[in-house]
Copies of this chain bind each other. A is one copy, B any other.
Amino acid sequence: MTTDNPASRPRVVVLGGGFGGVGAARALKDADVDVVVIDQHDYHTFQPLLYQVATDLLETTAVGHPLRDLFHDQPNATVHKATATAVDLDKREVLLSDLDPVPYDYLIIALGAQVNFFGTEGAEEHAFPMYTLADAVRVREHVLRKWEAADNDHSLLEDGALNVVVVGGGPTGVESAGALAELYRNVFCEDYRNLPQEQARIILVEASPELFTMFKAKLRGYAKNALGKLSVEVLTGEAVASIAPTRVTLKSGTVLPAHTLIWGAGLQAHPIVHSLGVQLQRGNRVAVGSDLTLAQHPEVYVVGDIAWITDPETNKVLPQLGSVALQSGEWAGANIAREVAGETTKPFEYNDKGTMATIGRGAAVVQFEGGRTMQGKLAFLAWGAVHLALLSTGEDRAKAVVDWTWAGFGHKRPTRITVSTEKTA
C-alpha cells in the first residue's frame, strides 16, 4: 500500500467497506482530505439481500459490488484490500496483517460484526452463519450438494439430508426460511423429480415465544401464516443445544435430522474492538458519544454494527441494521468534513424510515415509524422498490431486476450451479 502523504492535507482512514464505511467515505467526497478505505475484501456487500444469494434468487455479483468501482468518481479516495488487526490510538495508526501500519489523522471504524454462536456445541464446525457474502455462497453450495448427493443415493433422504434447520426468528432467519421454502417447493421439485418433497423439511427455530419481535402482533401473525403456507415448520420457545453434521439437538431434547443448519441468531462486534482499551457493551459493541466519536478520542469515529449508538430522543440503543450503518457512516464523514472546514461537529440524528421483511414471493411485512403497517402483495412490491433503489449502482439494480423477473415468471433460479475452482486431476 502506498501510504506516502506528500500533500499536507489530513488523511482519513476508513476501516470497512460496508454500508457504514462506504457512507462515510462518500460523505467526504468534497472535503479537503485524503480518504483511504481499507477492507479485507475487494467488494461491498448489500447485506439485506444476502439470503437471496443463499437461496439462488440473486447472483453473487448483484449483491457484492466491486468496492473500487464505488470510488471511480471520487479522486480523493483510494481503496486498499487489507486486513486491519488493531488500532493504536496513541500512535494514531492502524495495524494491518502482513503490511506496514497506516497512520491516520481521522479514523472511522466501520468493521461491522461477525456471527455469535453463544458457545453452542458444534456450531463453530457445522453451522452455516449468514452475515457475509462468502457465508451466503457457502450455504447455497452446501444445499445444492445435498440435493445432488440425495439424487444419487436415496438412502440419504431418510437421514434428513435435505432438511434444513434455520435458527433465529428475526429478519435473517425468517427471510432465509421463506426464500429456501420457495426454492424447495417451486424449483427443486422440478429439478429433482424423483425426490419426494415431503422429505425436504424446513424448520425455523426461535428461542423466544414469537417470531419477528420487532414487528406488531398483526404482522407477526401474518408472517407465521405465510411461512405455514410454504410448509415451513415453526418451533418457537425452542433453542439449539448442539449441532452435529447430520443432527440438531434442541434444549427440549428433540433431535432433528438435518444436514444443514443456518444460523441467523446473533452477532458480536469485529474483534478489533479489543485493541481499543475501552469497556465493551453487549455483543462487544463500542459505545460512542452523541457525535459518534470515541470518548477522549475526538479523531476516532465508530459507526454501524460495531457501534453502540444511543438514540438521544428515545434513549434506546439503535439496532444493527443497514439503515443505521449507512446513516451513522454518512454522519461521521460529514462531521469530519465539518471539522476540517473549521466548523464544529453535530450530534447524530437517526431518521427511522421503518422496517420491512419478505417471507416469500408476494408476501412481505412493512412497519412504518409512527405505527402504520402494510402486509401481503403491496408490502412485497414496496419492499422490492425500496431495495432496488438502495442497491449501489444501476448495474446492480438491472441485475436484480433480471433475476427477480425470471424467478417471478418461471420459478426459475438462475444461480443454482456450483463451480468448484479446486484443481482436479
Give residues 347-379 of A contacting B (CB, 8 Å): none
Assuming the contacts A402-B395, A419-B137, asked whether A190 and B151 have C-beta atoms less than 8 A apart, the reply is no
Contacts A66-B413, A138-B421 supplied; 19 other A-B pairs, CB < 8 Å: A1-B152, A2-B154, A2-B194, A42-B417, A61-B415, A61-B417, A64-B419, A65-B417, A66-B414, A66-B416, A79-B191, A80-B151, A80-B152, A81-B152, A82-B152, A134-B420, A134-B421, A395-B406, A399-B399
A389 near B: Cβ within 8 Å? Answer: no
Majority SS at the chain A contact face: mixed
Assuming the contacts A151-B1, A151-B81, asked whether A42 and B395 have C-beta atoms less than 8 A apart, the reply is no
Q: Which 10 pairs between the two chains have the least Cβ-Cβ distance?
A: A43-B417, A68-B191, A395-B406, A398-B402, A81-B148, A138-B421, A61-B415, A72-B190, A66-B416, A1-B152
**A193 engages B64 (CB within 8 Å):** no
**Using an 8 Å CB-CB cutoff, how does the interface string of A51-88 with B read, 1 for contact, 0 for none?**
00000000111001110110010000011111000000
Distance A261 CA – B423 CA, assembled complex (angstroms): 16
Give residues 146-178 of A contacting B (CB, 8 Å): 148, 151-152, 154
Least CB distance, A328 to chain B, in whole angstroms:
25
**A419 engages B82 (CB within 8 Å):** no
A26 near B: Cβ within 8 Å? Answer: no
Distance A402 CA – B134 CA, assembled complex (angstroms): 24
Residues of B near A208 (CB, < 8 A) are none
- State the A residues within 8 Å of B (CB): 1-2, 41-43, 59-61, 64-66, 68-69, 72, 78-82, 99, 133-134, 137-138, 141, 144, 148, 151-152, 154, 190-194, 394-396, 398-399, 402, 405-406, 412-421
Least CB distance, A156 to chain B, in whole angstroms:
12
12 contacts between A and B (CB under 8 A): A42-B144, A59-B59, A59-B399, A61-B414, A61-B415, A66-B416, A68-B192, A69-B191, A72-B191, A137-B421, A138-B421, A395-B402
Assuming the contacts A138-B421, A191-B66, A191-B69, asked whether A395 and B412 have C-beta atoms less than 8 A apart, the reply is yes
Of B141, B152, B399, which one neighbours A414 at CB under 8 angstroms? B399
**A78 engages B399 (CB within 8 Å):** no
Of B152, B192, B398, B414, which one neighbours A99 at CB under 8 angstroms? B152
Residues of B near A419 (CB, < 8 A) are 41, 43, 60, 64, 133-134, 137
Of B59, B69, B192, which one neighbours A61 at CB under 8 angstroms? B59
Interface hub of A42, A61, A193 (most chain B Cβ within 10 A): A61
Of B1, B144, B194, which one neighbours A78 at CB under 8 angstroms? B194
Least CB distance, A16 to chain B, in whole angstroms:
16
Distance A345 CA – B66 CA, assembled complex (angstroms): 53
Distance A81 CA – B396 CA, assembled complex (angstroms): 31
Residues of B near A396 (CB, < 8 A) are 414
Residues of B near A399 (CB, < 8 A) are 59, 399, 402, 414
Residues of B near A151 (CB, < 8 A) are 1, 80-81
Residues of B near A152 (CB, < 8 A) are 1, 80-82, 99
Residues of B near A138 (CB, < 8 A) are 421
Of B69, B406, B416, which one neighbours A42 at CB under 8 angstroms? B416
Least CB distance, A358 to chain B, in whole angstroms:
21
Assuming the contacts A151-B81, A399-B402, A406-B395, asked whether A412 and B69 have C-beta atoms less than 8 A apart, the reply is yes
Q: A68's closest neighbor in chain B, by CB?
A: B191
**A193 engages B414 (CB within 8 Å):** no
Distance A139 CA – B193 CA, assembled complex (angstroms): 36
Residues of B near A82 (CB, < 8 A) are 152
Of B42, B69, B395, B415, which one neighbours A148 at CB under 8 angstroms? B42
Distance A372 CA – B190 CA, assembled complex (angstroms): 46
Q: A99's closest neighbor in chain B, by CB?
A: B152
Distance A65 CA – B56 CA, assembled complex (angstroms): 12
Distance A59 CA – B414 CA, assembled complex (angstroms): 11
